[in-house]
Amino acid sequence: MIIMMTIRKSQERGYAKHDWLESFHSFSFADYYDAAHMGYSVLRVINEDKVAAGSGFGMHGHRDMEIITYMLAGELRHQDSMGNGSVIHTGDVQYMSAGTGVRHSEINPSTVHDAHLLQIWLLPAAVGLPPNYAQKHFSPEQKRNRWCLVVSDDGREGSIQIQQNVDLYSAVLDAGGQLSTALHEGRRTYLQVAKGVVLCNGVQLFAGDAAIVEAESQIGIQALQNAELLLFDLP
């Protein structure tokens, strides 16, 4: 079976730099527009954000979007119009279903360190759903040299349940670690490299790179250095 991969290099992403925020956009977002990169399947946004100490996103609104925050380093203080208030730490996955409408803020409470995160938006299965919130920590041991299911539509294996037919896996690979992943017929696969360097079916990918894999077969991943990966199984 021939495996086809479309590579999205880190340096090809949209870029925005503000006094308090450095952001890379895998898909069109805010002032960055690229008709060739409007999303993939129900995956609409992957922003890699670095938020300066003591700064962040003030109270603002969303609706009809499944929003996932994957913390790579540091922390964010979250508050929203549903009454939730918490701190999101390294290794946490936060889920907010904006549904009929929600307002929230995300502020880096540190006075020293940046917060580093991936903000992910998925189109919901239906519009007008009730807003919802969840947060869970996934330890490095849960993800070490294996795929750990962090988000799904049914909450299996201890994952966060969302309102879309998407499975999101995370893995932390030691240098030399390997993973083999079956691709399911009729589904779409999107691989995001969050940290490190890997070989995906022999193609070298660096932090910030992504690969769309389209085939009814499998992908093989080998870490050339310590790495962290996200794998989206999409409709």
pLDDT of residue 217: 82
Task: Decide: helix, strand or coil at residue 61.
Answer: strand
Between CA 13 and CA 27 the distance in angstroms is: 7
pLDDT in tens, 191-210: 999 999 999 999 999 999 99
pLDDT of residue 185: 87
DSSP state of 173: E
| Residue given tokens 């670095």 in the structure block | 50
| Residue given tokens 């409470």 in the structure block | 109
pLDDT of residue 56: 95
Between CA 17 and CA 23 the distance in angstroms is: 6
pLDDT in tens, 113-138: 999 999 999 999 999 999 999 999 99
How far are the Cα atoms of 116, 147, 150 from residue 167, in angstroms, in the given order? 23, 11, 8
pLDDT in tens, 90-115: 999 999 999 999 999 999 999 999 99
Count CB atoms within 10 A of the CB of residue 37.
17
Domains in the chain and their CATH numbers?
4-234 (2.60.120.10)
Asked if residues 173 and 226 have their Cβ atoms less than 8 Å apart, the reply is yes
Helix or strand holding residue 140 (H, E): helix 140-143
pLDDT of residue 154: 98
Residue 1 has pLDDT above 50, yes or no: no
Provide the whole-model pTM.
0.96
Residue of 179 and 4 predicted with greater confidence = 179
Asked if residues 18 and 47 have their Cβ atoms less than 8 Å apart, the reply is no
pLDDT of residue 61: 96
- 112-116, 180-184, 187-191: least confidently modelled range: 180-184
Between CA 164 and CA 177 the distance in angstroms is: 31
pLDDT of residue 216: 63
